[in-house]
């Protein structure tokens, strides 16, 4: 029984994950991956072949996708995650791949949001804008270092 289980795990790993990434206003991006690390409101989920079923709300944070020796980073701005049977669907409210991030624009957004929070500490929209700008800058820094 254990031998069959190990063989099944190897087969799943060889097939990888079937991932669909949907962002409003863009066509769906469909690809295979070995590992997906995604922020959810309940914490970071790391999905690999053989993962358990997951239905979660995405948070603002860094999305990491690994396929073979390649790794992609993106700033993720909320959405939904559905995963089962090595199939993952990420429906993002907003997403920016690292190489597409406009650092100057992100810095301006960071400064503006921080100023709004200085004026009103309870401004939840400003807090979310600051978090998004910080994530964008962190993702850009990791890929340009």
> Are residue 91 and residue 114 in the same domain, yes or no?
no
What is the Cα–Cα distance from 10 to 7, expressed in whole angstroms? 5
> Are residue 91 and residue 26 in the same domain, yes or no?
yes
What is the Cα–Cα distance from 113 to 80, expressed in whole angstroms? 25
> Are residue 89 and residue 119 in the same domain, yes or no?
no
Residue 145 banded pLDDT, cuts 50, 70, 90: low
Q: Note the pLDDT of residue 54.
A: 97
Q: Is the pLDDT of residue 23 over 60?
A: yes
> Are residue 40 and residue 86 in the same domain, yes or no?
yes
Percent of the chain with pLDDT over 70: 90
User: What domain range includes position 127?
Assistant: 101-144
Q: Is the pLDDT of residue 7 over 60?
A: no
Q: Note the pLDDT of residue 15.
A: 72
Handedness of CA 33, 138, 132, 101 (dihedral sign): negative
Helix (H, G, I), strand (E, B) or coil at 52: coil
Q: Note the pLDDT of residue 43.
A: 97
Tell me the whole-structure pTM to 2 decimals. Answer: 0.86
Number of domains in the chain: 2
- Write out pLDDT tens, residues 82-115: 999 999 999 999 999 999 999 999 999 999 999 9
Strand segments, DSSP code E, in the chain are 17-22, 29-33, 35-40, 43-47, 54-67, 70-84, 87-92, 95-97
Q: Note the pLDDT of residue 5.
A: 55
> Are residue 138 and residue 71 in the same domain, yes or no?
no
**β-bridge mates for residue 30, sequence order:** 20
> Are residue 78 and residue 138 in the same domain, yes or no?
no
């Amino acid at each position: 029984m254990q031998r069959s289980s190990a063989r099944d795990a190897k087969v799943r790993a060889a097939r990888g994950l079937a991932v669909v990434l949907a962002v409003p206003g863009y066509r769906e991006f469909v690809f295979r991956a070995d590992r997906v690390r995604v922020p959810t409101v309940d914490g970071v989920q790391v999905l690999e072949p053989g993962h358990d079923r997951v239905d979660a709300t995405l948070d603002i944070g860094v999305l990491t996708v690994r396929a073979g020796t390649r790794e992609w980073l993106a700033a993720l701005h909320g959405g939904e995650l559905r995963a089962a049977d090595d199939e993952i669907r990420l429906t993002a409210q907003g997403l920016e791949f690292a190489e597409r991030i406009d650092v100057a624009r992100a810095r301006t957004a960071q400064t503006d949001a921080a100023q709004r929070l200085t004026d009103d500490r309870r401004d939840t929209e400003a807090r979310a804008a600051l978090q998004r700008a910080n994530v964008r800058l962190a993702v850009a820094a990791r890929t340009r270092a």
